[in-house]
Amino acid sequence: MELLSPAGNLEKMRAAINFGADAVYLAGPGFGLRAASTEFSPDDLAAAVAYAHGKGVRVYVTVNAMPHESDYPALLAYLDLLARISPDGLIVSDPGVIALCRERLPGTPLHLSTQANALSSAACRAWYAMGVKRIVLARELSLSEIKEIRRNTPADLELEAFAHGSTCVSYSGRCLLSNYLAGRDANRGDCTQPCRWKYRVGRLAGEIVEETRPNEPIPIEEDAGGTFILASRDLSMIEHLADLADAGVTSLKIEGRMKSALYVAAVTNAYRMALDALARGDAFDPRLTAELDGVSHREYSTGFYYGNPHDDANVVSRPGYYGEKSYLAAVVGYDAASGRALCLQKNKCAVGDEVELLSPGRFGRAFTVSALFDENGNGIDATPHPGMAFTLPVPFPVKAGDLLRRREASVD
């Protein structure tokens, strides 16, 4: 199965590629459903595709927003830009956009976004007839349903499924809550994630109040299906990759274009090692689960894959994110003679800190920071300045692209 990782910017894309992604997905300036991310400029987009192709990695560009009539002049210009840089696929959801992509980029494969909510083989075949080469399956499907879809669709239609990351309480991302509460349209990439805000019980029975809107109570109701809580758990299928393969999944997707480079590296690395172990026939290594516990996440679940997730095991028991190990530095060079790694600071590091080095294909290797030196070779006690260059002795060889993180997990 292909391992598909998020790339919110060039740094994150390099981390994904360095730590084992077969392909990355990213957005250019607009139309990618992540308006708040550090999107790629036109020049960066071209550089990203060239860099990935030089590493043998595929690039899929998201064009999955639901455009209004006024968006089309900019969309046409954007498609012309994409035609010049030759990505390996376009992630689309709107039928009008699909028609334009086929017209402007006739040789570029089209991947149907999960925003289109493909839930059946009939729907998949209809999209296939429109020129779609891959379906990013709706998150609401079970493994048994995916097997049926695979059995009843053309063999050359690829199936992509989410394996890890944040999930949405609305139908595969089609949400109006952000627009209703904040005037920002989730279906045009501007979601404020109000499903993850903090709410409390209101003054009256049957209402809740968001903490920054005390005078705007929201009624809640219960029907025959029960009362549904907004805060869903994050998805993690790392222990079940064989089941995804058996269901006919072509590509495993990691969610997280808004997450840190450390998140992208650590999650990609864990899934790369798990996939490689699966290919060798090795037993699952529980240390991989521990790796994923060390990145920013909500409580994990397996989503809809093994049945209906609307039970206590799939609703968060406490709000917020936790587990992220602090991203201390990126390694940019190594002097074997002195055993020192040259690093760029991301967060403060000090002599005596217990840290780990994360390298591709390996679990985090722990050591204690015994000394630090500034870029002139002067000894220092800590690295207080964001982006500063420094060196430190590391008790094993390292390579550019390795990451330094704090050893103990912290709770946000």
Instruction: Show Cβ contacts of residue 158 under 8 Å, excluding neighbours closer than 6 positions.
Output: 111, 133, 134, 135, 250, 251
d(CA 341, CA 157): 46
State pTM to two decimals: 0.86
Residue 317: CB atoms within 10 A of its CB come to: 10
The domain limits of the chain are 2-167+232-314, 174-181+189-228, 327-406
d(CA 142, CA 160): 13
Q: What CATH fold (topology level) applies to the domain 327-406?
A: Elongation Factor Tu (Ef-tu); domain 3 (2.40.30)
Angle between helices 42-54 and 72-85 (to 10 degrees): 30
Assess if CATH 3.40.190.10 describes domain 2-167+232-314: no
The b/e string for 374-393 (b: 16+ C-beta within 10 A; e otherwise) is: eeeeeeeeebeeeeebbbbe
Measuring CA to CA, which residue among 86, 125, 85, 97 is closest to residue 32? 97
pLDDT in tens, the chain (412 residues): 999 999 999 999 999 999 999 999 999 887 755 554 456 888 999 999 999 999 999 999 999 888 889 999 999 999 999 999 999 999 999 999 999 999 999 999 999 999 899 999 999 999 999 999 999 999 989 999 999 999 999 999 999 999 999 877 766 666 667 776 777 776 666 677 777 677 777 777 677 787 787 887 777 766 665 555 566 788 999 999 999 999 999 999 999 888 899 999 999 999 999 999 999 999 999 999 999 998 988 889 898 899 866 554 555 555 566 666 789 999 999 999 999 999 999 999 999 999 999 999 999 999 999 999 999 999 999 999 999 999 999 999 999 999 999 986 433 3
Helix/strand/coil for 36: coil
d(CA 357, CA 340): 13
**Are the CB atoms for 44 and 10 separated by under 8 Å?**
yes
Longest dimension (CA), the chain: 70
pLDDT at residue number 409: 46
The b/e string for 182-212 (b: 16+ C-beta within 10 A; e otherwise) is: bebbbbbbbbbbbbbbebeebeeeeeebeee
| Per-residue CA distances from 235 to 23, 189, 349, 365 (Å) | 20, 21, 31, 26
**Each residue's pLDDT tens digit, 319-341:** 566 666 789 999 999 999 999 99
**Are the CB atoms for 157 and 134 separated by under 8 Å?**
yes
Q: Which two tokens stand for residue 381?
A: 């006690």
Find where tokens 């390579």 sit: 399
pLDDT at residue number 411: 35
Residue 222: CB atoms within 10 A of its CB come to: 9
d(CA 37, CA 26): 10
DSSP 43-73: HHHHHHHHHHHHTT-EEEEEE-S---GGGHH
d(CA 20, CA 5): 9
d(CA 175, CA 165): 18
